Structure 1
Amino acid sequence: MTFRFDSPATARRLFDDLRQLDDGTLDVSSVLAEAPTLSGYKLVLGWSHALCGTVHGHPRLQDGNKVVTSQLFFLDEQLGLARTMNRWYRLGGSGHRGH
């Protein structure tokens, strides 16, 4: 049996973003300007850590939908930024940690 969690291209984008974040070359202001907003978010634990909240500006989801993101890899509430397996999110108001 063969199992692949996600595409290699998705993983490369994630690792490239995290590398840029780590070495200080990530243009955080551009990421924040282009990322969908996740408001009323909270940290959740299922098979992995993720965020749930209300999404706005997502390229495939309707504004106002309650969502659970893909696996969470980076969260900085002071920057208002999170990186999941699939994309960056701008963190909106009323977020809080929980599970």
Structure 2
Amino acid sequence: MVTFNSGRADQGAVFDYQLARLIALVDDMKEIRSGASPERLAADPPILERWAMARRPAMCLTGLSAGHPLLPGDGRAIVTSDLCLLADDQTWARTLSRWYRLGRPAESPIGDS
């Protein structure tokens, strides 16, 4: 998840780094869709031996949704897809799927003591 400052063109090094990573991923996906092979796309890739699939938690949002295009109803409890961007004033969030306008925060968010 990357924070951003609304209305500024310069978002800083972390924002630019993550943007470049996502652009590279999308570019590779477009190439694969066009029939390119990983051998052509990967420049001197590392080898991963004894690999296995694993899971790790990703930051997301939870709350009461209104106006969601796929989850109808007002006040419907949802968990979003991976949180990618959060406005520094916490009024906007971008998940992997879509933008959310953020209303009031919960009384005690997860992780607060």
**TM-score normalized by structure 2?**
0.43
More strand by percentage: 1
Structure number with greater CO (CA < 8 Å, separation at least 6) is: 1
**TM-score normalized by structure 1?**
0.48
Max Rg structure: 2
